Amino acid sequence: MKSRPFGTMPSGEPVSAWTLANKAGASVEILTLGGIVRTLSVPDRHGRLADVVLGFDTLAAYVARHPYFGAIIGRIAGRVTNGSLLVEGRTYPLARNNGPNHLHGGLVGLDRRVWQAEPVARPDGAASLRLTYHSPDGEEGYPGHVDLAVTYTWTADHVLVIESEATSDRPTPISLAHHGYFNLAGEGTGSVADHDVQILADTVIPTDEHFTLLGRRLPVAGQPGDFRRSRRLGDALPHLYQAHGDTYELGAPAGRIVARVAEPRSGRQMTVTTDEGWLQFYTGVALDGTLVGKSGRVYGAHAGLCVECQGYPDATNRPGFGDILVRPGTPQRRRTAYAFTIL
């Protein structure tokens, strides 16, 4: 493991880039800004490495507004209806930064904060980095002082493990997610339409035109977003609402495989396991060719896809959709892993 300076924020805070590598030469680079996974290099069926996540070469590009490339999202990942948070009978107004809704933690969410980094020694020798951040009471409108830790581990067999822990001095919602944009053919190679996608979920949540979650469970069978059997993404895109992607209820048991993504030409496959209860699949439809990535190529529509494991974003307003509250004395711990193999 090694670190290097990655620039200085307008506030004067330094940002570092940490590289975690295994003996095969595969690696992941993580920024202290937002816990961003800036690069993730894994082999294809011929052993050739390629960076399979979207991102930028400079800190300035990340400081400018971007679509959450590779970042830790929170305090709540996803959309909170009407920017209104109900916690134990009290309503907290949040920023409405996405139409009528609150999205991904607000105007300055965790993705735009500088975290503290510390290497972690593991018995198995895997490279591991722990990031910590203290979110004060009232930050972005959320109640409670919250201490957050996110640990990234990169294993010998090409698994990126992301473990989070949150504690608070009062009941408050926490639902983090990793917002990586994956293109298993390699970053900057074009659309992911030829990727095969499988999402092992039986229930989907409908939305309105603002992607507001409507709080109604529908059987995924017969829906455009039914990926229980692996499907070529390009075949599904014309039928998905606004070609966007859906929110899925994962159900039990926790820690099981919930999704697979494969790219036939390279032979790369990504398998996702999690103990979260929900998954947001996003096709990268809003990428419009205005952003230039690490390869020097523009990111057009569907240049990358997201598999975001999280709690139900509107859970505080929707009883029966899971509990995302962190209470004093009871830490919240979650684990998601992205494993990279060859078909």
Q: Which residues are catalytic?
A: 179, 308
Place of tokens 């919930």: 258
**Backbone phi and psi for residue 311, each to the nearest 5 degrees, phi listed first:** -85, 175
Q: Output DSSP code: residue 63.
A: H
Question: CB of 128 within 8 A of CB of 153?
Answer: yes
Burial track 114-127 (b if 16+ CB lie within 10 A, e otherwise) = bbebeeeeeeeebb
Distance between CA 115 and CA 18 in Å, rounded? Answer: 12
Angle at 129 between CA 124 and CA 132, to 5 degrees: 140
Residue 192, amino acid: V
Pairwise CA distance, residues 68 & 38, whole Å: 11
Q: Which two tokens stand for residue 10?
A: 């307008």
Residues 313, 248: Cα–Cα separation, whole Å: 12
| Three state DSSP letters for 109-178 | CHHHCECEEEECCCCCCCEEEEEEEEECCCHHHCCCCEEEEEEEEECCCCEEEEEEEEEECCCEECECEE
**Is the CB of residue 310 less than 8 Å from the CB of residue 78?**
yes
Q: List phi, psi (to 5°) of 251.
A: 75, -175
How far, in Å, CA of 36 to CA of 44, rounded? 23
| Cα–Cα dist 105/121, whole Å | 31
C-alpha–C-alpha distance, residues 281 and 294, integer Å: 23
DSSP, res 292: B
